[in-house]
Amino acid sequence: MALILAAALLWTSLPVRAKEDTERIRRAEEGQTIRMLTTAYHHGEITASGHRTRQGICAVRREWIGKTALVWECEDSGEMGEFLGIWECLDTGFGADSDGDGMGSIQEGRVIDMYFPTPEEAEEWMEITGGRVYVQLVDAEG
């Protein structure tokens, strides 16, 4: 019974989540600042766009490759905080498939994944951000 109830709750929440995702993607593509989850990686040598990995590159939804991401901290209150930097959107990835639809969180535009040369720098990013940032995507070369 509990399994049926959980499945029913998931099924009824999927249209709401899809609508929220569509709205977030639209706002991001219009250059509005949006709140996103963030992760960090330190492996790999070549990005999805064919560039060598280096600090200042991030992995995003495939349609956002070629954009530049302006990134700010997200305060515990939810307010926009300190400016963290400018990142070139030159990579993509999968991320976690939290809802079982076969799409990863990076692919869905929920997560921005920042590249760092070392595991220690990646860990420091996660400590600084707590996994939440504000992002504005712009058409500009980094």
Q: State whether residue 111 is helix, strand or coil.
A: strand
Q: Which pTM value belongs to this model? A: 0.83
In the chain, the N- to C-terminal Cα span, in Å, equals 53
- Indicate the class that CATH gives domain 2-138: mainly beta
- Say if CB 107 and CB 62 are below 8 A apart: yes
- Say if CB 115 and CB 53 are below 8 A apart: yes
Domain boundaries, the chain: 2-138
Q: Looking at this protein, which amino acid is placed at residue 105?
A: S
Among the residues of 1-142, which ranges form H helices? 2-29, 119-129
pLDDT digits (tens), the chain, 142 positions? 443 333 333 333 445 567 778 898 899 989 999 999 999 999 999 999 999 999 999 999 999 999 999 999 999 999 999 999 999 999 999 988 888 888 889 999 999 999 999 999 999 999 999 999 999 999 986 5
